[in-house]
Structures are given as structure tokens and as C-alpha cells.
Amino acid sequence: MEQDTLKLLFFGDITGRQGRIALKSFLASVDKSNTFVIANIENASHGFGLTKKNYNDLSEAGVNCFTSGNHIWDKKDVYEYINDAKDLVRPINYPIGTPGKGSQVFSFRGAKIGVINALGRVFMPPIDSPWQIVVEEINKLKDEGVEHIFIDFHAEATAEKICFSKFLASEFNTESYSLIKGFFGTHTHVQTADEQIIKGMAYITDVGFCGTSDSVIGMEYSTSLKRLSTSLPERYEIAEKGVACLNGVEVLIDRARATQIKRFNILIDNDIQERKADFDSGG
């Protein structure tokens, strides 16, 4: 590595247009020369899935790696590009033959970075167990010379996230060297306050989400209220008010271990950002 310290930014579930705008405006001021950026994008296109257009747009904005979850298949054009998307990771514990890859390896500042995405099973749709599959993938990446591994565990249950993270840290990390530098929970869209370093591995139960602040985890209050209070079918509608929250973590790592994790919850007025962009472009 060119420097001993590497910075990682991991953003919680990008949800809809407001989440995309907030992420892009934030990344515009980030020094990307020493910062590796990961964002969960399974809700990036109108709250469900990821279109190729939005994938390309966020890639140009500076996202190095895209992780996902159970909603990655909701926009059907994903099947047209997922096999060729070298920086997009879908959950690894889908059955053999599922399009896309469950992990990707990146060369960044002279280091090899591996990113793995996995789905939990508690309170989630039926899926293969991640326990053995993820262990096998970590061993494979280790044999390929990967120095830093980051895991996005897309799961509902807090206990499952905590237990899985401790298991992997005990299997692969020691007091002197940590192969797994980060384990980040996603899916609930609610940021937890338990960020910590476990045997050299940065951990948080849920990173949170990036989307409209005045919402129900990114969705309109009115449609959420009807669905949750009556139990009748109601299509969720993405919230579109201009003030967005940006949830994420900043992790510092050296050659051997993660040394620091800080969570952030930033409010961004997207209406102001869009007016500024129009002014800067002469529009």
C-alpha cells in the first residue's frame, strides 16, 4: 500500500432518488484517492432494486463497490447487466447458477480488497445458509492473496448479525492480524448505536439508510400507515421530500487491522443541492 492507513466509507441502504442525490452530493467533497467507498443499493431505484442507469450514475459519482440484498432482483433489467458488473455484489447464499457474483475483489492503492454480501435467514425469505458458504469464500479470497475483507450482512435479526460477526472474527482474526476488517449489518434502515472493534474488525449491527428523512424507513407515511394499521394490501410509495438523511460508517484500517469506526447521520437538503447544481452548470 502507498500509505499505512486506508479509509473506508460504507453507506446504508440507498433508498430512492433522494438517497441517490444525497450520496452524490456528499461524495463530491470526498477525497477518493485514499477512500474506498461501498454502498448498499438494493433500494436505490424508486425504493426497490437498481436500474442500469442508476448503477452507472452512482458508479460515476465515486462508489467503488455496490452491495445489495433480497430486493436486488426487483428491477428486471438487472439481469441484463449483473453478470458484467464488476463492482456489484449480490448475496452469495443464493443457489448455484444465480446471476451475478456473491463477492468481488478490488485492487486499491496497492492492496487487494474483497467484498462479500450475504443474506440472513431469521425473519427473511427462504435462502441457503450463509454460515458455511461465507467461510468457504473467505478461505478462497485468502488463498488469492486478499488482504482486507469487508462483509455486508443483509439481515433482519439483531442476534443473527451479532452472532455471525463474532463467529467470523473468531475464525479468521487474531490479536496480531485481522483478515476481516469490517462486518456491517444492513436491511432494517435504522442505524444502531453499537459500533465497535471486534478483534480488529469494525462492526455495526445496522448502518442505517440514505433517503428521505421525513418517512417510514424511506417510504411515505400515508401508505405505510394504511398497510400496517389495517393489514390490507397497499403498495408502498417512496417518500420524495427534499431533506434526506445519510447514514453510514467511516472506518480506518492499517495493514493489520481496523483501528477506528465512526458512524454518521447527516441531514442534506437535496432541494438546495439541486439548485446549486443547476447554477453551477448554467442551467
Catalytic residue among 46, 71, 148, 187: 71
Distance CA 163, CA 114 (A): 21
pTM greater than 0.85: yes
Pairing of strands 196-198, 180-186: unpaired
More confident residue, 275 or 110: 110
List domains and CATH numbers for the chain.
Answer: 6-213+241-280 (3.60.21.10)
Summarize the confidence of residues 29-36 as an average pLDDT.
Answer: 94
If pLDDT is split at 50, 70 and 90, which confidence band does 276 have? Answer: low
pLDDT tens digits along 107-140: 999 999 999 999 999 999 999 999 999 999 999 9
If pLDDT is split at 50, 70 and 90, which confidence band does 186 have? Answer: very high
Residues 28 and 58: beta-carbon distance below 8 Å: no
Checking if the pLDDT of 274 tops 60, the result is: no
pLDDT tens digits along 227-248: 999 999 898 999 999 899 999 9
Catalytic: 71? yes
Residues in the chain, how many? Answer: 283
Helix (H), strand (E) at residue 54 = helix 52-61
Number of helices (H) and strands (E), helices first, in the chain?
7, 13
15 CB neighbour count, 10 Å cutoff = 31
